[in-house]
Amino acid sequence: MSDDRLIIAGREFKSRLWVGTGKYKDFVETKKAIDTAGADVVTVAVRRVNITDRSKENLLDYLDPKKYTILPNTAGCYTVEDALRYARLARAAGISDLVKLEVIGDERTLFPDTAGLIEAAKILVKEGFIVLPYTNDDPVVAKKLVDIGCPAVMPLAAPIGSGLGIRNPYNLKIILEMVKVPVIVDAGVGTASDATLAMEYGADAVLMNTAIAGARDPIAMAEAMKYAVEAGRLAYKAGRIPRKLYATASSPIEGML
């Protein structure tokens, strides 16, 4: 599928599986999982440097920013002000204007505060950021984010880390019809079939973290996810047959005794 490239804001991505880098045992496992998944976009969080214990290794020692697109997120931000602050710090620390914008609205579900998200996205787009917003599976909000200038939208499949799979496939399908920018299904994937389904519906990519990092064997799951995303994409492009209630024989009647 080398000719099937994903392009967002003029940037070309090889892999349609994007992965988060949290919750792994160590950086060695993180890198192995990313490489096995074949992901070229990895999300990272922005946090204080540990100034008392400098022996701690840096994630970027393991993930060469020349090889991977480092996508900083504003995870953990509950207000517009916090999200803006983290995004600006990420840009100052990083290599690009990309930000995965999260404004979280509720601690138990980690559902996005979509009003805050739209407000923060507006400001960051004006400041020249390439804003990839983590949003709810709400088609109207997705449309608004695109109208503001987000070059892609990232609707959730289910709450972050829940592993529930795509809770609202019909909304996802409507989003895919309504917006003309890439749609990256983000959060809630539990296993390979969830990722395949998202891709079969026509999603442009899938972003996941816990589904891989939390699996009994993260590296094996990374491999499963790689094939799952590829299979879903191929099936989407191939075009599935329509569902019918009754059988259609696939062997000819002619020539029967």
Partner 1 sequence: MKIQVNGEGRTANAGVTVAELLRELDIRPDRVAVEVNTEVLNRQEFERRGLHEGDHVEIISFIGGGAGECGDLSIGRL
Which residues are tagged catalytic?
100
Instruction: Tell me the C-alpha distance between 83 and 72, whole Å.
Output: 11
Q: Which residues bind partner 1 (CB under 8 A)?
A: 19-24, 27, 30, 43-52, 54, 56, 58-60, 70, 72-73, 75-76, 82, 85-86, 88-94, 100, 102, 104, 110, 134, 160-161, 186-187, 208-210, 213
Contact 80, 52 (CB under 8 A): no
Q: Is 220 left (phi over 0), alpha (psi -120 to 50) or beta?
A: alpha
CB of 30 to partner 1, least distance (A): 6
Residue 91 vs 233, nearer CB to partner 1: 91
Contact 102, 129 (CB under 8 A): no
CB of 82 to partner 1, least distance (A): 8
Q: Is 157 exposed, middle or buried (0-12, 13-18, 19+ CB in 10 A)?
A: buried
Residue 111 vs 236, nearer CB to partner 1: 111
CA-based max dimension of the chain: 85
CB of 119 to partner 1, least distance (A): 19
